[in-house]
């Protein structure tokens, strides 16, 4: 089943939140991708909202950023 526009928007917000937390921790994309042991292209796709990361990947991101996984989802959504 294709992903809806609302879901795409949510993934973009999730990615933007990951970027915000990463920058707050003074980490560059390359540094976070090294901690996650993934290529930086994969991280760029997550942060830009172009891919739907697995729960395991999100857990790894939370651990690497030293935040709780719920913090990655601390975003405001506006249902239409």
Report the alpha-carbon angle 28-33-39, nearest 5.
125
Taking 90 as the threshold, does the pLDDT of residue 42 lie above it? yes
Counting Cβ atoms within 10 Å, is residue 45 exposed (0-12), middle (13-18) or buried (19+)?
middle
What's the whole-number mean pLDDT along residues 33-41? 95
At residue 79, the pLDDT reads 61
Question: Which pLDDT belongs to residue 80?
Answer: 58
Give the pLDDT band of residue 76 (cuts 50, 70, 90): confident
Q: In the chain, what percentage of residues exceed pLDDT 70?
A: 95
Instruction: Give how far the C-alpha of residue 29 lies from the chain's centroid of Cα atoms, to the nearest Å.
Output: 11
The span from the CA of 14 to the CA of 34, in Å, is 20
Rounded to two decimals, what is the model's pTM?
Answer: 0.91
Q: What is the mean pLDDT of residues 52-64?
A: 97
Q: Which CATH superfamily is domain 5-67 in?
A: lambda repressor-like DNA-binding domains (1.10.260.40)
Mean pLDDT, rounded, of the chain: 93
């Amino acid at each position: 089943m294709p992903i809806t526009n609302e879901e795409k928007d949510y993934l973009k917000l999730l990615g933007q939140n990951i970027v915000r937390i990463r920058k707050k921790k003074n980490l560059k994309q390359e540094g976070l991708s090294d901690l996650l042991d993934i290529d930086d292209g994969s991280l760029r796709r997550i942060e830009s909202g172009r891919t739907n990361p697995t729960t395991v990947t999100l857990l790894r991101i939370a651990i690497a950023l030293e935040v709780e996984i719920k913090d990655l989802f601390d975003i405001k959504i506006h249902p239409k």
